[in-house]
């Protein structure tokens, strides 16, 4: 069963040269599926429609045409039906500055109407699991960048979402902090066995995390779909990276590339 379905989806926005009535496609003929429990990485260059796909999936915007389905619901039209079912880790932490670390982790649970004691017990547990025990009462401004991102990861996992979405969650961190957090995150994702969709700029990260990789190209469509284990077995890691780069449009296409 598919947890996420994009079927021939297009999304048009008015051109930044507003008033001209010109429309540009952020996403066009976007078709892919993510199976329940599957971990899928999405790679692509800046401006290839990854963020628009993300917003369509969360239900923040409606497609211009085509069909989006998340856990059997139209995410835009049936916004309320997905309450508590999607967890998101953003590129930056997006913590509410007026809430301390504990309250931030409990935020999604509060919106999902989880009883007070239950949600704070869960939030404390997640903070402990992410190494932030003792920092529960601290406000975001008092935490380091890495700690804030840990809080945001805890917030996403705390609701036990059926789908986990990650939008380049480590790209705003320094190399060392990002690497450490990436490892912990991988462990968490595998332990929780959620349906996960990662947007990343890092091909290495995509290969490490994803069971499948979707290579996006502008205007937002899937240029190449890769089964990671199979591709690694066939080509090896360095060749696979080259294949992905070529599909992204960073290198001229080699003869053995077969865009979907």
Partner 1 sequence: MAIRKEAFIAAGGVVVVWQIAAFFFPPFLFPPVPAIFRQFLDIFTKGSQVSSALATFARILAGMAGAFVVGGLVAIAMGASKKVTRYCYPLLNFNQGIPALSWVVISIIWFKNTEFRIWFIIVMTTLPAFTFQIYDAYRAISKDLLEMSLSFHPNRVDLFRTLIWPGVVPGIVTAWKVNIGNVSRVVVVAELVGATNGVGYELLERQQLFDMAGAIAWTLVLVAFVVISQHAITLVERRVLRYRPESERSS
Only one of the segments 11-19, 90-98, 241-249, 251-259 lies at the binding site for partner 1 (rule: CB under 8 A); that segment is 90-98
Q: For residues 133 and 101, what is the distance between their CA atoms, to the nearest angstrom? A: 10
Only one of the segments 26-34, 41-49, 95-103, 179-187 lies at the binding site for partner 1 (rule: CB under 8 A); that segment is 95-103
Query: In 3D, which of 199, 206, 215 has the Cα closest to residue 237?
Result: 206
Strands 39-44 vs 212-217: parallel, antiparallel or unpaired? parallel
Using CB under 8 A as the binding rule, whether residue 145 contacts partner 1 is answered as: no
Residue number, 51 or 180, with CB nearest to partner 1: 51
Using CB under 8 A as the binding rule, whether residue 21 contacts partner 1 is answered as: no
Helix axes 116-129, 101-111, angle to 10 degrees: 130
Q: For residues 81 and 50, what is the distance between their CA atoms, to the nearest angstrom? A: 24
Binding residue (CB under 8 A) for partner 1 from 7, 13, 24, 90: 90
CA distances from 41 to 25, 182, 198, 202, 222 (A): 22, 14, 5, 10, 12
Is the link from the previous residue into 185 a cis peptide, with omega within 30 of 0? Answer: no
Q: How many residues bind partner 1 (CB under 8 A)?
A: 31
Residue 157 CB: number of other CB atoms within 10 A? Answer: 24
SS3 243: helix
Only one of the segments 139-147, 209-217, 222-230, 252-260 lies at the binding site for partner 1 (rule: CB under 8 A); that segment is 139-147
Using CB under 8 A as the binding rule, whether residue 88 contacts partner 1 is answered as: yes
Binding residue (CB under 8 A) for partner 1 from 97, 175, 238, 252: 97
For the bound state, the minimum distance from the C-beta of residue 151 to partner 1, rounded and expressed in Å, comes to 12
Using CB under 8 A as the binding rule, whether residue 179 contacts partner 1 is answered as: no
For the bound state, the minimum distance from the C-beta of residue 85 to partner 1, rounded and expressed in Å, comes to 8
Q: Which of residues 181-240 bind partner 1 (CB under 8 A)?
A: none
Using CB under 8 A as the binding rule, whether residue 26 contacts partner 1 is answered as: no
Using CB under 8 A as the binding rule, whether residue 79 contacts partner 1 is answered as: yes
Using CB under 8 A as the binding rule, whether residue 58 contacts partner 1 is answered as: yes
Only one of the segments 74-82, 124-132, 143-151, 181-189 lies at the binding site for partner 1 (rule: CB under 8 A); that segment is 74-82
Query: In 3D, which of 198, 97, 87, 95 has the Cα closest to residue 151?
Result: 95
Using CB under 8 A as the binding rule, whether residue 60 contacts partner 1 is answered as: yes
Q: What secondary structure does DSSP assign to 86-119, as a single string?
A: EEEE-SS----TTS-HHHHHHHHHHHTT--HHHH
For the window 104-133, what string marks contact with partner 1 as x by the rule CB under 8 A? ---xx-xxx---------------------
Give the position of tokens 């997905």.
82
Using CB under 8 A as the binding rule, whether residue 169 contacts partner 1 is answered as: no
Strands 2-14 vs 65-70: parallel, antiparallel or unpaired? antiparallel
Q: For residues 148 and 131, what is the distance between their CA atoms, to the nearest angstrom? A: 12
Interface residue list for partner 1 (CB under 8 A): 55, 58-60, 79-80, 82-88, 90, 92, 94, 96-100, 107-108, 110-112, 139, 141-142, 159, 165
């Amino acid at each position: 069963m598919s947890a996420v379905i994009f079927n021939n989806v297009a999304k048009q926005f008015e051109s930044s040269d507003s008033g001209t009535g010109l429309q540009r496609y952020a996403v066009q003929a976007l078709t892919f599926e993510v199976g329940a429990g599957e971990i899928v990485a999405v790679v692509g260059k800046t401006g290839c429609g990854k963020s628009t796909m993300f917003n369509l999936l969360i239900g923040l915007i409606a497609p211009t045409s085509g069909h989006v389905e998340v856990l059997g619901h139209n995410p835009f039209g049936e916004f309320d039906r997905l309450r508590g079912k999607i967890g998101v880790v953003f590129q930056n932490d997006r913590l509410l500055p007026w809430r301390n670390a504990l309250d931030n982790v409990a935020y999604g649970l509060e919106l999902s109407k989880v009883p007070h004691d239950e949600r704070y017990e869960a939030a404390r547990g997640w903070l402990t699991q992410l190494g932030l025990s003792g920092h529960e009462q601290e406000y975001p401004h008092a935490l380091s960048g890495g700690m804030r991102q840990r809080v945001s990861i805890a917030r996403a996992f705390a609701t036990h979402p059926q789908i986990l979405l990650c939008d380049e969650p480590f790209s705003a961190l320094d190399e060392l902090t990002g690497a450490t957090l990436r490892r912990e995150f991988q462990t968490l994702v595998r332990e929780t066995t959620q349906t996960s969709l990662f947007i990343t700029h890092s091909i290495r990260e995509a290969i490490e995390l994803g069971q499948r990789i979707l290579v996006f190209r502008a205007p937002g469509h899937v240029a190449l779909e890769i089964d990671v284990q199979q591709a690694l077995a066939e080509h090896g890691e360095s060749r696979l990276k080259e294949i992905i780069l070529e599909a992204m449009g960073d290198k001229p296409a080699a003869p053995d590339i077969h865009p979907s």
